[in-house]
Amino acid sequence: MVSIFDAHSMITLIVVLLVGGILLLVIENFIPGFVLGTLGLISILAGIFVTYFEYGFTFGTVMLGVILVLTLVLLAVSMRNFQQTATGKLLTNTSNVGSDSSYAVNQGLLGRSGVALTQLRPAGSAIINGKKVDVVTQGDLISANEPVEVIQVEGMRVVVRKVEDDTKYRPR
């Protein structure tokens, strides 16, 4: 096939397209916006197309295989370091599960008494130890302003029951 470029300039063009595309994809990890990544992908595809067009099926397929292997390696390295990139910081949640201070506060509520702030059917809110706490009953309906007692605490789940004897009710 006759080309307007000589063999040396074609190899240079292919290398520039492929290496430039890979570099644009790497830069995309640090500067989010998807523009550089898209340009990098287009550049890599153009490099593969030119390789097929100028050097035939065999060499084009070899180049495609090399690019696929490099892409997988680049993807593995990127995934390993994703949370440290600008995009990763925008897209990932770095808070710790179970580090909520209300979890520790709820552990001290067992046996405490309070008042239902809302109607508990069976979930709602109650004032216990002077603080609003999300609570559930064991299936009973408890009206607002009724005295309640904490009978079970499982992590963030606080289970209450209605205090039947008002003389027993004494918020602690």
Q: Residue 127, exposed/middle/buried by CB under 10 A (0-12, 13-18, 19+)?
A: middle
Where is pLDDT greater, at 138 or 1?
A: 138
Q: In the predicted model, what is the mean pLDDT of residues 79-103? A: 71
Q: pLDDT per residue over 111-168, tens digit each?
A: 999 999 999 999 999 999 888 999 999 888 999 999 999 999 988 899 999 998 755 5
The answer to whether 54 and 28 have CB atoms below 8 angstroms apart is no
Q: Give yes or no for residue 101 having a pLDDT over 80.
A: no
**CA–CA separation, 18 and 74 (whole Å):** 13
At 81, list the tokens. 């370091």
86 CB contacts (<8 Å, ≥6 apart)? 30, 31, 32
Provide the pLDDT for residue 89.
Answer: 79
Q: Give yes or no for residue 83 having a pLDDT over 90.
A: no
Q: Give yes or no for residue 3 having a pLDDT over 70.
A: no
Q: In the predicted model, what is the mean pLDDT of residues 17-36? A: 87
Q: Give yes or no for residue 5 having a pLDDT over 60.
A: yes
Where is pLDDT greater, at 82 or 172?
A: 82
Where is pLDDT greater, at 111 or 30?
A: 111
Q: pLDDT per residue over 33-63, tens digit each?
A: 889 999 999 999 999 999 999 999 999 999 9
Q: In the predicted model, what is the mean pLDDT of residues 73-78? A: 83
At 167, list the tokens. 């003389």
The answer to whether 150 and 134 have CB atoms below 8 angstroms apart is no
Provide the pLDDT for residue 124.
Answer: 94
The answer to whether 91 and 34 have CB atoms below 8 angstroms apart is no
Write the DSSP string, 65-121: HHHHHHHHHHHHHHHHTGGGSHHHHHH---PPTT--HHHHHHHTTTT-EEEESS-BS
